[in-house]
């Protein structure tokens, strides 16, 4: 272990919410902690706030009164940067502005010892650029905590281009000694979480802009149908629309305006209007006192069909639907439609009910097709989205709705769009993750750990690609690419290679 010992001082520069949280983590781990802020009196106020949080930990039985008193004795505000001279580790949590961070570390280099580790908590700036003006950039590393730092376990440890391996190892081991779950990654825009999570927000916003469904319905489909703890609209309201949009824009610019990372005009207008989410009282939803939350679009109850036909095997996770249908008391017969290779369910009225494949239902313009959205666990899902082709009647839709309602699912009818909601979101996240792993951004294991712990995903995207199959994901994105020219949905070469390897192994 090369973790910084608890006899060493840790300094935190910047005393906002994140800075206070990081300081509390180091303090509870047993270090002496010094707080510094350029605003006069701010460090002292932060020390008092941390003391109050320690009091609450005592009330909850998390720490003893003696431990609280000892921690308070180790915490001290600094009135000048020079008072951080004895620190073994300095973590900055100041404004997300490159010149400010460079200026801070340049000043610190003349104050702290030669073996002091300098860490930036940046979420979107280049660690390489932050360290670029230092005489000894090898001791600068990224330690990206997630808010609230005392509660969330993930820490991304980022090696800049010039970061010494020993510095990254010390940062990793120190975070682990503090009870955190660190992951290592290279200095790439967005690192792991903010890179791979972009489609979760971007695809929802794109679906909204395409007038496929309203925010409440999109949130419900991803939450109830895919197992995400929060939908993208309610989550960005919680994060802050200005904060989320700024990270998206930063990553897009850092990737030289790659269309895969294109920001949303709808979100830009929301930010320009000052509707930044919960902190502003309104974002996508109204948070003012007495305001009700809009309900998702949910189909009215419909009778279940007595039987359905099954043509071929349903793909991927949808294969379990046959079991669920039979468990609901609905007879499943064999459908013998000639010339069809795609697995689907034949409804009594003749409509085909099939998992989305990246093409809209209306691509079969003269056929009665209803597409249902992806779920990673159809047994656990409580909501399913459906989209119908123009040839489908209201009676056909009612049969599809009744079928899923008989399985205990709520149903949302959305406008017909390639990839629907869940499938396009999951496929894009998986492709981003596979590409990141292939480029050495992080190991597959660290990618899954980061996405589960950093943004509370119901699973890791590297796990998802194993369950779905890389070929299925590639086919869906390739189909979407042919429907949407511009490069946003072009599947990565890494995904193609993985699909080919899967076929070779099988």
Please report which residue ranges of 310-460 form alpha helices under DSSP H.
321-327, 394-406, 422-438, 444-454
Provide the β-strand partners of residue 468. Answer: none
8 Å CB contact between 403 and 372: no
8 Å CB contact between 469 and 505: no
426 Rama class: left (phi>0) / alpha (psi -120 to 50) / beta: alpha
Please report which residue ranges of 158-214 form alpha helices under DSSP H.
165-177, 193-196, 198-209
Our answer to whether residue 456 is catalytic in this structure is: no
Identify the helix (H) or strand (E) that includes residue 117.
strand 117-120
Identify the helix (H) or strand (E) that includes residue 310.
strand 307-311
Q: How far apart are CA 23 and CA 31, in angstroms?
A: 9
Our answer to whether residue 394 is catalytic in this structure is: no
Strands (E), 347-494: 352-355, 369-372, 383-388, 410-413
Our answer to whether residue 249 is catalytic in this structure is: no
Cis peptide before 148 (omega within 30 of 0): yes
Our answer to whether residue 121 is catalytic in this structure is: no
Among 92, 109, 121, 123, the active-site one is 123
Among 194, 250, 357, 484, the active-site one is 194
Among 92, 109, 156, 245, the active-site one is 156
Q: Six-digit token pair at 376?
A: 């990673």
Q: What is the DSSP string of 65-88?
A: HHHHHHHHHHEEEESSGGGGTTEE
Q: What is the DSSP string of 265-303?
A: HHHHHHHHTT--BGGGTBSSSB-STTPPPPPPP-PPP-P
Q: How far apart are CA 343 and CA 324, in angstroms?
A: 16
Catalytic residues: 123, 144, 156, 194
């Amino acid at each position: 272990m090369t973790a910084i010992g608890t006899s060493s001082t840790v300094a935190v520069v910047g005393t906002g919410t994140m800075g206070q949280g990081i300081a509390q983590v180091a303090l509870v781990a047993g270090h002496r902690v010094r707080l510094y802020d350029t605003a006069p009196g701010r460090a002292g106020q932060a020390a008092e706030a941390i003391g109050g949080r320690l009091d609450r930990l005592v009330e909850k039985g998390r720490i003893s009164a003696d431990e609280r008193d000892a921690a308070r004795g180790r915490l001290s505000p600094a009135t000048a940067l020079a008072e951080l001279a004895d620190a073994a580790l300095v973590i900055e949590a100041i404004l997300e502005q490159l010149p400010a961070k460079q200026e801070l570390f340049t000043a610190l280099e003349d104050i702290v010892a030669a073996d002091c580790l300098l860490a930036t908590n940046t979420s979107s700036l280049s660690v390489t650029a932050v360290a670029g003006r230092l005489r000894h950039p090898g001791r600068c590393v990224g330690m990206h905590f997630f808010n609230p730092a005392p509660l969330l376990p993930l820490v991304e440890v980022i090696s800049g281009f010039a970061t010494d391996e020993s510095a990254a190892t010390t940062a990793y081991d120190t975070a682990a000694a503090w009870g955190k779950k660190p992951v290592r990654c290279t200095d790439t825009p967005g690192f792991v979480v903010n890179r791979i999570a972009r489609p979760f927000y971007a695809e929802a916003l794109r679906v909204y802009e395409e007038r496929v469904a309203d925010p409440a319905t999109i949130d419900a489909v991803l939450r109830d149908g895919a197992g995400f703890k929060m939908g993208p609209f309610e989550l960005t309201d919680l994060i802050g629309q200005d904060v989320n949009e700024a990270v998206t824009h930063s990553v897009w610019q850092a990737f030289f305006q790659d269309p895969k990372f294109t920001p949303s005009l709808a979100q830009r207008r929301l930010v320009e209007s000052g509707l930044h989410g919960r902190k502003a009282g309104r974002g996508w939803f109204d948070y003012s006192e007495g305001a009700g939350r809009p309900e998702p679009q949910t189909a009215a109850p419909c009778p279940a069909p007595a039987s359905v036909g099954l043509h071929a095997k349903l793909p991927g996770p949808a294969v379990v639907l046959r079991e669920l249908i039979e468990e609901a008391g609905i007879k499943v017969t064999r459908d013998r439609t000639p010339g069809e290779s795609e697995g689907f369910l034949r409804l009594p009225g003749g409509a085909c009910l099939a998992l989305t494949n990246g093409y809209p239902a209306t691509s079969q313009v003269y056929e009665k097709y209803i597409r249902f959205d992806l779920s990673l666990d159809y047994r656990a899902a409580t909501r399913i989205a459906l989209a119908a082709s123009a040839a489908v009647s209201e009676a056909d839709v009612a049969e599809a709705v009744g079928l899923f309602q008989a399985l205990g699912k709520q149903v949302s009818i959305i406008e017909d769009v390639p990839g629907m909601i869940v499938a396009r979101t999951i496929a894009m996240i998986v492709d981003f993750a596979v590409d990141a792993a292939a480029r050495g951004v992080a190991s597959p294991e660290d990618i899954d750990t980061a996405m589960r712990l950093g943004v509370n995903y119901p699973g890791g995207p590297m796990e998802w690609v194993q369950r779905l199959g890389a070929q299925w994901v590639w086919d869906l994105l390739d189909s979407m690419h042919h429907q949407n020219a511009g490069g946003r949905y072009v599947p990565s070469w890494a995904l193609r290679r993985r699909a080919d390897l899967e076929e070779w192994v099988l």
